[in-house]
Amino acid sequence: METTAIPGLLVVHLPVHADNRGWFKENWQRRKAVAAGVPDFEPVQNNISFNGSRGTTRGIHAEPWDKYVSVAQGRVFGAWVDLRQGATFGRVVTREVGPDTAIYVPRGVGNAFQTLADGTAYTYLVDDHWSVDNQGDYRFLNLADETVAIGWPIPLVDVELSDKDLNHPRLGSVEPFVPAPILVVGSTGQLGRALVDLLEAKAMPYQAVGRDVLDLSNPPAWGEDIRSGNGLRRYRAVVNAAAYTAVDEAEAPTGRSAAWAVNSTGVSALAAACGAANVPFLHVSTDYVFDGGLPLERAYSVDSPVAPLSVYGQSKAAGEAAATSVRRHWLVRTSWVIGRGPNFVMTMERLAAQDVDPRVVNDQVGRLTFAEDLAEGILHLVDTAAPFGTYHLTGAGTPASWATIARWVFEAVGADPDRVIPVSTTDYVGSRTGVAPRPANSSLDLSKIRATGFTPRDHKVSVMERGWRRSAE
């Protein structure tokens, strides 16, 4: 396989086995192609263009899907033009292609060819179905555009062209393709808001929906377009930042029903829709799927078996099972999220200012995760097309108890950290009922997310630099 001057445009060499009868080749063999570095794009449609005479020329067409093109018979001069927004807009790659070569063409790259032999068949594997709805996402470029100046072997005045291809616009009139948008579900929560802020800052196309548009607790209200997956096909990925997170309320009958409706049933429906649409699904889960029984000096790996203690944890574990049933998924577990709205560190800051000496649990250990950092790591996975699978994403650094973190906050705001009174979970809960059990050890191993090139921030450094202020603004 070869890379080219157009990012993502790949040349694939195919063994052709010939004998006295003719020849045979494996045009698309998923395992071999993926091992060679071709994206596992899961084609859903196969098209064939038959061209009766030498010199037939078609293009330049860029569609809203990835495609894998090859020659079944004859030879062509292929030309590809990057019509995507960015520094390579207008860049050209040309190559003569026969049965021994295939080209992987990413979304937004224009495809054209000129036949060099009579009776040439040109084939396309594509990863989405053509429909009337996505015609507006096409881009076209005139074959004779002077800017890209393709050196056609046979002059265009001497070849067969369609009227449509003759009238396509010049490069200066082509609106560049932008990346497919990311769909954020749960846009009003602390993580959803952090994701929207970051997407805005990075100028990445997105659509964000709240409960008023897509209520995870009520999949029948989504409409057939979403439930079937058809309404999700145009997205680059679906990121589920929605969840029922009232941990204690989930222990009561009404809360239990709500937690399971959102965290399990709703996630299952959304995962099924993403699977049907063949769109990557990123789902956010929690340390509460573990029982916290590991020794405190150890962290839970991505492969550790789940054993939730609470109704909330059980419903999230069920949601994980649904999310991971989608082959193209990222499951991101996190812990102790601090974002906009009431949160632990802002409460400790307020108590420090009010001269209150708080009683804080000292036998639950983990790491804080600031919502903006979690959002950054999530978009890193999507934007770099990181391998699918399960990741842990929290703040980095030494795990600490809630009491220790409270002391950091007091110190950061200039208050005496010794005012924090450490207590056991048992003493803190006292005689109260309906309090969900918490994991004693919420430390998650971060080696897999680091291997993708993302480095989480140290949670103590973020606290001492008053990082919660950034998340709250």
Distance CA 303, CA 454 (A): 20
Distance CA 391, CA 369 (A): 14
- Is 124 catalytic? The answer is yes
Question: Do 195 and 242 form a contact (C-beta atoms < 8 A)?
Answer: no
Residue 380 β-bridge partners: none
- Which of 231, 254, 235, 236 minimizes the C-alpha distance to 244? 254
- Is 104 catalytic? The answer is no
Question: Do 238 and 222 form a contact (C-beta atoms < 8 A)?
Answer: no
Instruction: Give long-range contacts, CB 8 A cutoff, 24+ apart: 229-232.
Output: 229/272, 229/273, 229/274, 229/275, 229/276, 229/277, 229/278, 229/279, 230/276, 230/277, 231/277, 232/183, 232/273, 232/274, 232/277, 232/279
Report the Cα–Cα distance between both ends of the chain, in Å, rounded.
48
What single-letter DSSP state applies at residue 170? P
Question: Do 43 and 33 form a contact (C-beta atoms < 8 A)?
Answer: no
Question: Do 369 and 394 form a contact (C-beta atoms < 8 A)?
Answer: yes
Residue 76: burial class (beta carbons within 10 Å; 0-12, 13-18, 19+): buried
Locus of tokens 């470029």: 141
Distance CA 202, CA 46 (A): 36
Distance CA 127, CA 435 (A): 48
**Where on the phi/psi map is residue 292: left (φ > 0), alpha (ψ -120 to 50), or beta?**
left
Distance CA 66, CA 128 (A): 8
Q: Among the options 68, 124, 300, 312, which is catalytic?
A: 124
Locus of tokens 């632990």: 344
Q: In terms of DSSP bridges, do strands 421-423 and 359-361 run parallel, antiparallel, or are they unpaired?
A: parallel
Catalytic residue IDs: 61, 124
